[in-house]
Structure 1
């Protein structure tokens, strides 16, 4: 009986199945991708690092740190720094990451170079490996030379990849590998140079790495050094992709929730139409259990079939993710497909279809045989305790599933709570709307207008079901769109035409005047000449930093205690700064107490307020200061911003170096300036912001594509759900429209009645859903993303009229059979 009835209702049930397929496809594809990503991170963690563990320091290790490093007997070491290099053959210059390596590194994985032998011979031959893309860009080949500082070396190979180098950082500063013993000859490691020392270790016993890290990390921390294990690296990489994963999980959850809405609304209308047939079956002797099982088997079978199809589509979809995210993954993602996700998809399809169809299914249990003779359209109602039990089961399912995806109980509870509140508000609006139009019925309207309004509150109406389905669909689609805009707004980057686009770093005091002259000689402006003084915190609020480090109950963040601050001094604020506490002090005279200005994030992390004392160690000289003001800094602006700013008249005599900025009109001017400065001042580093903008914008474009793809996939699911819900509702109106035609109504009148009814439903549901989406998106922006919310006009201009028009078109398509055929033919066909 279930099979026969399903064959007669295959169109309605196929639309019901579509909701399941799309929701399951989204969940399976994203879960399988996340599982593959985590497995790859675990299996390739040693290859990613190239060693079992590393000790690194942002400065030359102290005597105590060096003693710890030597006692562990490193098998390889490296000093790396960012610098300008020149190609004598083409005259080109480029900012690169120079890596001076000694020893047989890497221990895991390999340096992929062309020719392959170059990775093993570059140290003994005294040559360098240059990034392969960089060699193509500057038209240089193996055998040509490269100038690094004051040293010219032969290029012995093209570097394709190596452990420890990510694609994104290599795009901004491509790697150049050289023997460590030749680094000093470049004379690039001067005062203020940004450099990093790394020591690589390979051990046979990797089980005790965590114990080693726990024992040595506090000791190295006191010496401003760190110990990183390969397992810690894989965990950090996992967290790096956590935000992308969270958004994908959110999109999958919304797609599944939309599928659940489609199931609930479709089955509600479908079963409501079947109640008379069930009453007839019971008159013929069918038991409650038999009539219930007929439709339970139908729904369960469709759930299993839809889950299987959705799981297979999901397996195919997840193969796309490695291609989309290849620029962010520092390894080649190996895809493995198991039967578990497909099994989960099938079980999930069965469970969600039965659970969300259970309430209308239970109506079949309480149908009386006398309902065949009754005129009432309300039918039997299940007891209140049954409804509450089903609703509780649905809420528990949604919470557990969202918690499984989001891995945060509070967020899962908040999301489910917001969905329930939205559902209740939509149902309340729909019920309130029907009561209002019933009370204030427009008696003086035309027949067609009155009939369309009557359809909204008379028996057998579909107002509440469709308004909830349309409104919740619009709410989720709009919320996802607004969330996408918030995420993408965090990734916007661009350069203003009047801002500096060339930054010259590591300028020594004796070079300032000469470099400024070289810039102005090319008719370029010197936009800023910023002094930098390096220092560390010695005391915070009277307590030694070393004592704070050892305090397990400290309220000061660890980075503050270990950070080497690059500070500046000036007598004015810049555009990206706003004083939010205290008073700005532009200048101090000799002998006056030193007051400083700190950024708001430093104030929070160091637990500092206006008036608190801070002692800095400035190149071995202790300087007592007091927090005079706290600044809010807009770090998104591409310019030099500082956490600590001194007033003028304090640090002028301290050891320092400078940063100069200028503005070049085009690529040729930039290349000419860089070649001139690098040839005369090899120690300086030059950052061309235009090149960085190009790289970053290309990366962000791919991020935007991934976010947009998943957002629109879920939106597409929502559209399918709406189509299914509205399409299924057509069977409630066929008999009424046939009776109207029998009584003499013309096709144009039936068309107008139907059009106005669905116009009211589409407009009411989409407007309320969009308004609720605005509120929820504002809460997400302020509470979760900590970003200002500027709503896009797209949902108002596209989604609102688009969904309303979609509802109208589907509603009108529902009555084609009535308009094209005779009343008797329609009734026979639908029976």
Structure 2
């Protein structure tokens, strides 16, 4: 002590002395200090794992971009391109036709809607079509053979050598398709792929008018060709022929962009876990500093300045934060090797995991910053500890005055959350919404906990037994854990519940559309000559014809006399004069160029359906004379997107024939109903003679009749495709299960962090609980009574935290259901009850189990320790 006294007499002390004092002070508290920071280890681990995965995925996408694309240039269109032009491009070309069609397994007499890819040429030029046996990828092109997706082979118990029927033509299964270029597990389950040789496609009878065939052309260039520059020069030609194009660089960019969104979500999920841990850090440091008041006051009496005392404990936090960040980064580096297994169904490339030192550096830096930030509000109180505190009784009440520095720290914490979110989302609005949501959740849970403490203090009757009153009193006693546990456990519960509710909303939305009076099977690509026969076939199986509508493919040629070229020219003039406000205002009122991109499938009818509601204008269902004006009806949201309104003139290109129309009305459409809905509807008397196909909707009572009816349709009408809603539900459930597993994997970090915060809170207040236990034991309380008081306290805390979290989840899920999914929300009672009981039981068990050492301490030992 003489050396310390001599140093304290000096006007200033060295940094080395501060470090030494921080080290000496931490010797009896290192396990507790590390426990404080351990609550953020999982958050840092989650972020480092996501960052490492992101870095490795970005590198692999760059390295495998050519394999993803399969060719240097891919052209795509809804109609055949100029073959002479295609033949002059590159050094090698391949062609593909892909479309949805029914696949019929001859041996099992079963059928399934699949994605047919009719291929010609040596595509892919980079990478391979992976098959079993390997040679089948090349051999299937040598005859009437096919490659069938492995999921289909398993589903229908098919084997290599079996026969399948595509349209009117049979093919031999040459091999099992394990993986196609740019295919993932999710895409295979949603739309299984079947490859056939292109030369046999005409014989299938599936290329008739109305068939929804996508034309693709794959082109390979020499290694010296600058494909991106070449495409830029050819862009006017591609636009003229309505050809979409994709190069290796654009494929790499698009794939990287889609996975950036996934990585942003995963990073935000990890960040939520980190924020929960930070609550534990802040609360634990608050209790820790409170216990150090007498030691700090004694040092102040010896001459230590307030800022020097502040730096002693700041050094402790920095070093322990560094240890926690390094531990979290190491754990995250290990976890990253599990992420490819979790996300394998979503990744189209082969992942090669490596240690990302940049991700580790980011994790360590983030861990230190966030540890200090959330510890500062409590550390700042050290500056205001007076030497007189050494003489004051520990129970003397002391009201703190407002500290501007604390509010500045709170501002920096909020700014940190916003900046971090912005760096993940790269959008101010999204970052603001996320930050606002986090702040709202924190404030709501904070308010709920404060309200509970006030209510418990005011309304708990004295008639209750002593054990119950003592358990309730622990909710608002000094150094209580109500606020910290309500926020941490509540947010964790809200995160898990929201996931469960949203998954239920999506399933329920489709399930509701298949009610008793709703169709559950759709037959499309029906030619005009087949519609009566198809209807009769359905009736022969006692199936009702609930809806039968014609569909015509059209394009928008002009809107109010302006074409896409006119609008593009106007935009270029506007961009050349950025200060011309009048020109900008005029362009804002112009129709959108998106109206001219792609084809529209429209129908004609004389009355509105049950899913349609007129919201503006007048419905006219029939044109009685050729010279009469044609009034069309647009779906309200579609009209807003292309910026047209009632009274605007639209010229449609119907297979080369121009039909001028006027927007007569706008409709609101219930898209969730299982029936044919259209963005544009024509009146009768206009499109009857246009090339068209028909859609029939029916309701099948069970899977047995469904299989028999589908088989009959495929055998008699091979060009007709069938969508079975039961199959859609199964695919959707599988898809949501896989997505849910990924989200639950990240949500587990939040739950685990909340659990660690709970343990930390119990151990942090161990010394005070020890004194309370001794006092109660001295007054004659038994271990059983003290255990009951502890269990009741955590029972109330668990119920409060779980209840508050579920209220948040219910409110958020309701908002998503109503405003995002436009669906009703009916929360499932039994799962909510089970989850509530589970969370409460976990909190009670953890609280009682972690407090067992306190209950086993003899009073005399504690009294000796305090003396």
Q: TM-score, normalization: structure 1? A: 0.86
Distance 1:497 1:330, change over 3 A: farther
Matched, 1:16 2:36: yes
1:823 maps to what in 2?
Answer: 859
The separation in 2 between residues aligned to 1:406 and 1:485, in whole angstroms, is 24
1:162 maps to what in 2?
Answer: 180
Matched, 1:29 2:46: no
Q: Is contact 1:427-1:468 (8 Å) kept?
A: yes
Distance 1:246 1:339, change over 3 A: closer
Matched, 1:520 2:556: no
The separation in 1 between residues aligned to 2:177 and 2:802, in whole angstroms, is 56
Shift of 1:276: 0.8
Q: Is contact 2:490-2:803 (8 Å) kept?
A: no
2:416 maps to what in 1?
Answer: 397
1:415 maps to what in 2?
Answer: 434
Shift of 1:564: 1.7
Matched, 1:59 2:76: no
Aligned residues, how many? 824
Matches of residues 524-535 of structure 1 in structure 2 within 5 Å?
524-535=543-554
Shift of 1:297: 4.0
Shift of 1:655: 2.7
Distance 1:452 1:226, change over 3 A: closer
Partner of 1:327: helix, strand, or coil? Answer: helix
Q: Deviations over 1:282-332 (max 9, x none)?
A: 445666566445433433333223223322332333333322332232333
Aligned match of 1:112 in 95, 120, 130? 130
Shift of 1:642: 1.6
Q: Is contact 2:554-2:653 (8 Å) kept?
A: yes
Shift of 1:27: 1.6
2:6 maps to what in 1?
Answer: none
Partner of 1:473: helix, strand, or coil? Answer: helix
2:556 maps to what in 1?
Answer: 537
Partner of 2:128: helix, strand, or coil? Answer: coil
Distance 1:164 1:540, change over 3 A: same
1:39 maps to what in 2?
Answer: 59
Shift of 1:387: 1.9
The separation in 1 between residues aligned to 2:266 and 2:380, in whole angstroms, is 35
Matches of residues 226-245 of structure 1 in structure 2 within 5 Å?
226-241=244-259, 244-245=262-263
The separation in 2 between residues aligned to 1:296 and 1:527, in whole angstroms, is 74
Q: Deviations over 1:707-764 (max 9, x none)?
A: 2332343133223223322442343354355456556777788778777777777777
Q: Is contact 2:100-2:113 (8 Å) kept?
A: yes
Greater shift after overlay, 806-815 or 314-323?
Answer: 806-815
Q: Is contact 1:531-1:656 (8 Å) kept?
A: yes
Shift of 1:545: 4.1
Matched, 1:103 2:121: yes
Partner of 1:308: helix, strand, or coil? Answer: helix
Q: Deviations over 1:484-506 (max 9, x none)?
A: 24642464244445544443322
Shift of 1:54: 0.8
Aligned match of 2:530 in 484, 494, 511? 511
Matched, 1:308 2:312: no
Q: Is contact 1:473-1:769 (8 Å) kept?
A: no
Q: Is contact 2:270-2:750 (8 Å) kept?
A: yes
Aligned match of 1:723 in 730, 741, 759? 759
2:352 maps to what in 1?
Answer: 334
Q: Is contact 1:25-1:311 (8 Å) kept?
A: yes
Q: Is contact 2:289-2:378 (8 Å) kept?
A: yes
Q: Is contact 2:68-2:182 (8 Å) kept?
A: yes
Matches of residues 533-612 of structure 1 in structure 2 within 5 Å?
533-552=552-571, 556-590=591-625, 592-612=628-648
Q: Is contact 2:633-2:667 (8 Å) kept?
A: yes
Matches of residues 691-710 of structure 1 in structure 2 within 5 Å?
691-710=727-746
Q: Deviations over 1:247-301 (max 9, x none)?
A: 3233211101001100000110011011112223444566656644543343333
1:48 maps to what in 2?
Answer: 68
Greater shift after overlay, 639-648 or 259-268?
Answer: 639-648
Matched, 1:472 2:487: yes
Q: Is contact 1:366-1:381 (8 Å) kept?
A: no
The separation in 2 between residues aligned to 1:155 and 1:557, in whole angstroms, is 47
Q: Deviations over 1:322-353 (max 9, x none)?
A: 22332232333332222333333333323222
Q: Deviations over 1:473-519 (max 9, x none)?
A: 25523542454246424642444455444433222222222333333
Q: Is contact 1:486-1:781 (8 Å) kept?
A: no
The separation in 1 between residues aligned to 2:183 and 2:788, in whole angstroms, is 66
The separation in 2 between residues aligned to 1:522 and 1:430, in whole angstroms, is 62
Partner of 2:410: helix, strand, or coil? Answer: helix
Distance 1:151 1:410, change over 3 A: closer
Shift of 1:194: 1.0
Shift of 1:605: 1.7
Runs of 5+ consecutive residues of structure 2 not aligned to the other structure: 1-20, 572-586
Distance 1:540 1:748, change over 3 A: same
The separation in 1 between residues aligned to 2:161 and 2:338, in whole angstroms, is 40
Distance 1:682 1:278, change over 3 A: same
Matched, 1:253 2:271: yes
The separation in 2 between residues aligned to 1:175 and 1:620, in whole angstroms, is 33
The separation in 1 between residues aligned to 2:754 and 2:25, in whole angstroms, is 27
The separation in 2 between residues aligned to 1:9 and 1:821, in whole angstroms, is 19
Q: TM-score, normalization: structure 2? A: 0.83
* Root mean square deviation, CA, Å: 4.0
Q: Is contact 2:445-2:490 (8 Å) kept?
A: no
Shift of 1:645: 1.9
2:287 maps to what in 1?
Answer: 269
Aligned match of 2:675 in 618, 639, 653? 639
1:684 maps to what in 2?
Answer: 720
Distance 1:538 1:431, change over 3 A: closer
1:484 maps to what in 2?
Answer: 499
Distance 1:563 1:453, change over 3 A: closer
Q: Deviations over 1:412-465 (max 9, x none)?
A: 33433454455566667777887898899989998888877887778xx235xx
Q: Is contact 1:326-1:332 (8 Å) kept?
A: no
Aligned match of 2:367 in 335, 340, 349? 349
Partner of 1:8: helix, strand, or coil? Answer: coil
Greater shift after overlay, 429-438 or 669-678?
Answer: 429-438
Q: Is contact 1:502-1:663 (8 Å) kept?
A: yes
Q: Deviations over 1:156-200 (max 9, x none)?
A: 444332314444444354333333333333332111011121111
1:72 maps to what in 2?
Answer: 89
1:176 maps to what in 2?
Answer: 194
Distance 1:747 1:227, change over 3 A: closer
